[in-house]
Structures are given as C-alpha cells and as structure tokens.
Amino acid sequence: MVFEKYRWLAAALLLASFAGGVAAQGYPTRPIRVLHGFAAGGQGDTIARILAQEMSKSLGQPMVVEGGAGIGCPSRFRSSR
C-alpha cells in the first residue's frame, strides 16, 4: 500500500540515525604531520613551520613539521609512524 512505497526511505532514515556515533569521534587522535622536501632552516622550512603554527591554533590540534632535503628521500615520507 502507501507504506510499502516509502519502505526504502524508512530504512535509510533508520540507518542514518545510527551514523551519529561515528561522527562524534575526535579526529585526528595524534598530532598532524606536515612533510616538506626542503632543507632544515631554509625558507621552505621556515614557511612550513609558520603555517603549521597558525593551523595548529585554528584546528586546536598539534602539528609536527618534518623536512627532508630534496626529493631524494621518499622512503622517509612513506614510513608509518
């Protein structure tokens, strides 16, 4: 009848009501890593640290800046810490 027409809508609303618990989790739970490919102490490193500091204030989450000299160190950036 009429209710059979809207059965999929009722099911979707029921499933959506359970999604609230997932959205309530805090993300991220660890500090955010900012990776750049410039030498330490250079202009790129300085800019990355200034931006990370400001972003940390606005996000309310600590940020860690990690740099590597040039593109020759991709394995360091792929590591999962």
Cα separation, 25 vs 29, in Å, equals 9
Most confident of 4-8, 50-54, 70-74: 50-54
Tell me what pLDDT residue 72 has.
53
Which is nearest to 80 in space by CA: 30, 13, 11?
30
Average pLDDT on 65-81 reads: 62
Query: Hey, how many other C-beta atoms are within 10 angstroms of the C-beta on 45?
Result: 16
- pLDDT tens column, 8-19: 777 777 777 776
Q: Which residue has the higher pLDDT, 13 or 45?
A: 45
CATH number at residue 70: 3.40.190.150
Average pLDDT, the chain: 75
Residue 33, H or E segment: strand 32-36
Segments forming the whole domain that contains residue 7: 2-78
- Number of domains composing the chain: 1
Average pLDDT on 33-60 reads: 87
Residue 49, pLDDT above cutoff 60? yes
Cα separation, 48 vs 32, in Å, equals 13
Residue 53, pLDDT above cutoff 80? yes
Note whether 36 and 65 are within 8 A (CB): yes
